Amino acid sequence: MLHIRLPGFAIKILYGAVFIFFLAFTFTLPVSVQARKHRNYINTQHPVGTVVKASGPCFNNSDRYVDCGNGTVTDTVTRLIWLKKADCLEATDWATANYKAAEIKSGDCNLSDNSSPGDWRLPTKDEVTALLPPSNLNCTNPTLVDQEGSGCFAQGTQWATGIQFNYWSSTTGPYQEAGNSAWAIFLNFGGVINTSKPSLVYGWPVRGTP
């Protein structure tokens, strides 16, 4: 039988390597187990592929406009959800206003509604027109109803902040002018006017129907 006699220094090196391997295995195993446990915990709480939907409308038994407490207000007549912070989007041209509205998400504009980019949009001409109060109320500056829907915004409970005097709709102008004009609401006198798209007008986003 062949016997190999290693020098003393070689034996020490061999023992040292075995010891280092043992230490590495001892400390790596618990860390790996803990990492695996942590990974499983994360996956349990936030499964891959989970889609978080934006909060829906809210209602009560007395108001037309109901503050949902998450930066949004529900119009219980049209079922639209409006941004409570009506001055979040600055005055821009029509195309930019559409892009900016579509980019809004939870965390912007005082929102905590779980909304994502693409949830918000500019309202249509019909939707902004529905904001206007009945003529018999004689509301002025702004021409909006209050939270209850029975009085004028300026004198009643106000359901939005930062109201500006004009806002874009997403609806383009009459057929022959559709390429360069769109409808905008003017709350200083209560009219919906065909407006040149390059004009600087504010945006007041909504989400919901249609």
pLDDT tens, position by position, for the chain (210 residues)?
A: 444 554 565 555 555 554 555 545 444 444 343 333 333 333 333 355 677 899 999 999 999 999 999 999 999 999 999 999 999 999 999 999 999 999 999 999 999 999 999 999 999 999 999 999 999 999 999 999 999 999 999 999 999 999 999 999 999 998 766 689 999 999 999 999 999 999 999 999 999 976
**Gap between the Cα atoms of 94 and 104, Å rounded:** 16
Buried b (16+ CB within 10 A) or exposed e, 58-71: eeeeebbbbbbebb
Specify the CATH number for the domain of residue 119. Answer: 3.10.100
Query: Residue 200 sits in which domain range?
Result: 65-207
What is the spatial distance between Cα 72 and Cα 48, in angstroms, rounded to a whole number?
28
pTM of the entire predicted model: 0.75
Same domain, 80 and 174: yes
Residue type, 136: N
Whether 47 maps to a domain, the answer reads no
| 1 within a domain of the structure (yes/no) | no
- Do 102 and 167 fall within a single domain? yes
Q: What is the dihedral of CA 111, 115, 116, 119, to 10 degrees?
A: -110
